[in-house]
Structure 1
Amino acid sequence: MAEDFSKAVDDGLKFSKRLYFGKDRAVSPPKQPPSMDKATSCAFLPTAPMVYAVISDPGIVDNPDIPSYQPHVHGRCDPPALIPLTMNRVELQVDCYMDTAFIRVSGSWRVHCIKGSKSCGCRVAIPMGEQGSILGVEVDVNGKSYHTQLSQLEDDKEMEKVTHVEGGFLRVKPHIFTLTTPQVNGGANISIKMSWSQKLSYSNGNFSLIVPFTFPGYVIPPGKKYLKKEKIQLNVNSGVGTEVSCKTASHSLKELRGVSQVGKLGFLYEADVLNWSNTDFNFSYTVSSSHTHGAVLVQSPPMHDIDQREIFSVYLLPGNEQSRKVFRRDVVFVVDISGSMQGKPLDDVKNVLCAALSKLHPEDSFCIIAFNGQTFLSSTSMKSASKEAVERAIEWIGINLIAGGDTDILPPLTQAIEMLSNTRGSFPLIFLVTDGSVQDERHICDVMKNRLTEAGPIAPRIYTFGIGKGFCLCH
C-alpha cells in the first residue's frame, strides 16, 4: 500500500509538468530516483502533513488561473495519480503531558492544479511519530465544513462499508494516516486541522519528541516568492511539579515567560519564511528529579463523545538516580546436588549462581546451602556481599557442588528460614533450585507454610526453580 501511494505521487508530479504559471516558473517535480527499486519505492511518501489532488481524469489537470490549452489527455488513471497541493500557511501546536504529546497541525492548501470549472477529491496524508494515534481531522472548503467522528460498528455490514472508504493507515513505519475529502473545486483554498497523539521517547532522564515536519520544495506556491507565515507552539507539562529544562530543539524556540511554571514550559517559534520547514520538529527536555514521582489523572468524557466511560491514568517517573537501591537483600541460595543433577543441569546451576552472586550489592548479604541427603553451607552465618566474599563463595561452589546422593529438601529449607529469622531492615529471600520429585512434598509444603505464618510480615519469600521434567508441580 505504501509503495502504491508513492507511485501515485510520482505519477502526479509528472502530471504537474503540464501546469504553466506565466513567465515566473512552472512547478517541476524533484529529481527522480534512478529507478523505483525496493530501496526507493517509497521515495515520495509524505514527511510532513500533506494534501494531494486525486486525479482519475488527466484532462482536468491545468492551472485554474491561466489555462494552458494543452492537448487533451485521453484515458483515465487507475489507480488515481496524486498531485501535491501547494501550501499557503502552516501552524504546529504540540502539548506534552507526561509521556504523551498531543499534536495539532492547521494549514491552508490551494488546489492549484485543477481547471476552475472542474473538481476533484483531496487526499490528506498525516505521518505520525512514535506510537502515533489519529485523533481527528477537520476540513473547511467551499463554505462547507467536514470533520471525522468516532463511530461504533455494530455488525459486519458496517465493517465492510468502512474498509471500502478511501484512506486509512499505510503499512509503513512511522504510521501514515490518509483520508479523502469530498469534491473540491479547482482554484479553491482548503483549510484543514489535523490532530494526533504520539509517545515521547525516554532515555537517560531525557524526554524527546520528533514530529514529521519536513516539507518538500514542490509545496511552495508557484510564481514570485513571498514571505509566508510559519508558526510552532510548544507546551510541556511534566505532571510531577518539578523543574523542567529544555535540552535541544530543531527550531529557534523562544520561551514564553508568562506560561512557564514549576513543572511546565511554554515555547513559541514564529517566522516569515520563503521556504517551508525542511527539517522535522525535534525537541528534548529533562525533568530535574532524583526521586521517583507519580501522578493519577482522572478525565471525564466530553458531552457528545460516543464513549461515556470515565478514564484514568497512572504515571510514574523513575527519576535520574538510576543506581539507587530501594531495599537491602538477605539471600539464601538452596541448591540441589543430588545424583540426578550430575552433568549439564548442575553445570548450568553453577554458572547462574555465580552470575547471581555478582549482581548483589556490597550491602546485601548471602549464604549458599547445597544439599542431597546432607546439607553443606558456604558459611555458618549470612555474609556481606563484598567483592572478596563473593570471590570466596564462587571458589566454594567450584569445590563443593558435586552431584551425588539422595534428595532431602526439608532440612535445608528449614535451615535457610532459621538463618533469616533475625532479619531487620532488609528483604529476606530464599531461592530453591532442584530437579527432584520427593515423596513427602505435601508435608514439606505444610511445614513451610506454618513457619512462614509464624514469622509474620518479615517472613522470607521462597522462589522455586524446577530443573528438567522430574520436579513436583502438585503443591
Structure 2
Amino acid sequence: MNSGIGKEILCESSSHPLKETSRSVGSLGFLYESEVRAWSMNDFSFSYKVHSSEILGRVLLNSPSMLDFDQREMFCFYLYPPTVNTMKVFRKQVVYVVDISASMQGRPLENVKVALQAALSKLSPADSFNVIAFNGKSLLFSSSMVPVGKESIGKAAQWIDQNFVAEGSTNISLPLNQAIEMLLNDGDSIPLVFLITDGSVEDEREICEALRGQLMKRGLSAPRISTFGIGLYCNHYFLQMLAQIGRGYYDAAYDLDSISSRLERLLNGTSSVILADLKIEALENLNSFELYPCYLPDLLSSRPLIVSGRFIGTCPDSVKVSGTLEDSSNFVVDVKVQKAKDFPLERVFARRQIEAITVNAWFSGSKQLEEMVVKLSMQTGVPSEYTNLIFVENKKEKQTSKLEAVDEKASDQLNVKKIIYLRALGVGFGNLKATADNLPVEAAEPKLHETSEMVFAAASSLCGKLCDTCCCMCFIQFCSRFNDRCAVTLAQLCTALACFECFSFCCEVCGECN
C-alpha cells in the first residue's frame, strides 16, 4: 500500500488478519498468511489514515502504454483531510428525500428509518433539516427548513414512524424539485440533498437535464446532491449522474443486510464538509482536460478526495488548488506534480473511469462512448455493462479454457469450439417494469441457481432436449409463478443434471492440463 504522499500511514481496521512485511514513509506491505483452503468468504476491507495536521495533496502523472487506445496523458489528483480536528465543518441545511413506494415494504424501509434517525441525532444545533417522503405523491415533514433541536428531532422521529408506510408508485421529480427549492444558501452553510430510492422512473434523463440547468443558474451556492440506490431495480447510473451534477457522492446497497450501515456512512460522512467550491487552476488551462467524475465534489473531514482523468498538454511542476473554508475565507494550497513510478494508474482507476464514461454514455445515448467503454474494458480486463466475461475453449488440441473479457456482439465471431457465458457482472440500467409492479428489493437478489449460470450452460444440451424454446432457467422461473415446490424440485433436478455434465467438462479440462 502506497499513499503517494510521503507521510506516515495510520492503520485503523482490517477485516482479515494481516502480517506486516515492510514499512517505510508513506508505504506499507502486508501478507495474508492463510492457506487457500482456509481463505475467508467475507469481503475484504481495510481502512487507514495519512497522519497530517493540514490538508495535503498530490498530482500523479502517467504516460499511456503503446497498447492504450487512448494516447492522452493520465493523471490522478487527491487531497487528504487533516487527521487532527483542526478545521471546522460547515453548518448544514439538509433535506432527506426518501422513497416509500410499495416495493420498500418490510426490511428495506425499516433499515432506512434506522439510518435516517441515527443521522438526525448527529446533526449539530447550528444545522437545519427537513424530511420528504415520496411515492406517487410527496409528504413533507415541514413546509420550510426546521432548526435542529431536541424537540424538533423528536417530532421528526415520530413523523417518520407514522408516515413511512410503504405504498403507492414512484415519482422522483416532484420531491427532488421541492427539496432544491426549499434550500436557500445563506453564505455560511452548505445545502445538502440526500435522495434514497429503490426504483427506476421513465423521466430520468429529463430530471438530470432540468437539474443541471437549474443548478448552473444558482452557481456555487447550488445544493449538493448525494444519492443512495437500494437493490438492482433502480438505475444506479442515473443516481451517479445526479450525484455528479450535484457535486455530491453516491453509494448503494445491493442486499438488505448492508442498507443501514452503508446509508448511515453516506449520510454522516458526506455531511462533514471542511473545504467547498474546489478548483484546480492549472489543470483547467490544459489543451484537453477530462475529469472523472466531471465535477469536483467538496472535501470531507472523513475521507480523501480522489479524482482521475486524461489530458493533452504540458503539466506544470505544481498546481494551485483553491476552495472556501467554513468562515467564508479563501483557501489555497500548492500541490506538487510528480511522475507515478510505482502507480499503474490505468489499472488502479479503470473501474472508476469505466463507470464515469458509462454514466455519460447512458445520459447522452452516445454509441461512441459505449464503444470507448468496451475498448477500456477489453484493455484492462474490468467487466462493464457492454462486455461479458466468458470461458473460451479454443479449437486447438490440448489447450485449456481461459477467462477473457470480450465484446458481447463480437463473441459469435471467435474461432472457438465452446463458449460459456458467466452471469452478467453489471448492475444494469434499472427496471421500469419491476418498479411499476412494485416488486420487492429481495426479488432481484441473486438466487442460488443464478450464481451457477456456468453450470447450467454446461448442461444446456440436455435442457435443450427437454425444451427447444426456453432454457431450464426460464422454465424454472415460469413454474415458480404457479408453485414454489415445483420450482424447488425442478431447480434441484436441473442442478444435479448440470453437475454431472459440469463434472464431465471439468474432467476434460483437467485431462488436458495433465
Check whether TM > 0.5. Answer: no
Instruction: Give the number of the structure whose residues are more often strand, by fraction.
Output: 1
Q: Which has the higher helix share?
A: 2
- TM-score, normalised to structure 2, is 0.33
Larger Rg: 1
TM-score, normalised relative to structure 1: 0.35
Higher relative contact order (CA 8 A, sep 6+): 2
